[in-house]
A = this chain, B = another copy of it.
């Protein structure tokens, strides 16, 4: 079994949680009392991680929130990754996608330089934009199939040769998955797609965003995603980390996460 998936599923069992905490730690939304610290985002992330490390299965920082802060943000990201306990995997949400010699450099940046266990990738450039990531056999890549945003329908749902574009992505990802280090991003905003894609790809792990602030149906996401033993992780970002903007933010994040866990586990 792929090392990331092993780590993920072990954390899911140990912590009794399918929830991945999205560290979309927007500086503008960090509680005011942290703003005076030398590195407010790092302080925020550390407190969130300390409060949730035994009740989640993964962390997923989205690189945009760190890149927006420049060099300092990248430093914060590296320190955040180092603060995550060894037994909890880190998914770097980067949605990269570029031609082969360039994708090789992105893979180096994400896996070797930053030290993520997994990454998210965009499929638009096809196989050679994904291949360099697959050479890291212990690591893992989730390719975007269906995203959870409103404009996902602009292209992903187009009927291409008799089926939606996202199902072409699913088929290709299956065919590329020789080393079992590929999965899919399947947004929860349209639960029907989770069912349809699980039927099309029973063996692929899913990363499911869109159940928190974006309002997707958590119960259906779990039921459809885990059908026939399917491996999933459900990402919640704002719905957990910004549960409170007061001094109790970490405690409230843990409470919000526990509620997501309870709702998930009843269903599962």
Contacts and interface: CB of A to CB of B under 8 A. Distances in A.
Nearest to A210: B99
Number of identical monomers bound together in the oligomeric complex = 2
B124 A155 contact: yes
A64 interface: yes
Q: Is the interface of A mostly helix, strand, loop or mixed?
A: helix
Contact of A158 (B73, B96, B129, B161): B161
A172 B103 CA distance: 26
Interface stretch (A31-39, A146-154, A193-201, A257-265): A146-154
Contacts of A247: none
Interface size class of A (residues with CB under 8 A): 35 or more
Interface string A87-100: 00000010111111
B67 A109 contact: yes
Interface in A152-178: 152-156, 158-161, 165, 168-169, 172
Contact of A126 (B62, B67, B73, B152): B152
Contact of A68 (B68, B97, B106, B152): B106
Given A26-B105, A95-B96, 13 more contacts: A62-B105, A67-B113, A68-B106, A71-B78, A123-B124, A123-B154, A126-B149, A126-B150, A126-B156, A154-B172, A155-B172, A160-B160, A160-B165
The 4 closest A-B pairs by CB, nearest first: A126-B151, A126-B154, A67-B109, A64-B105
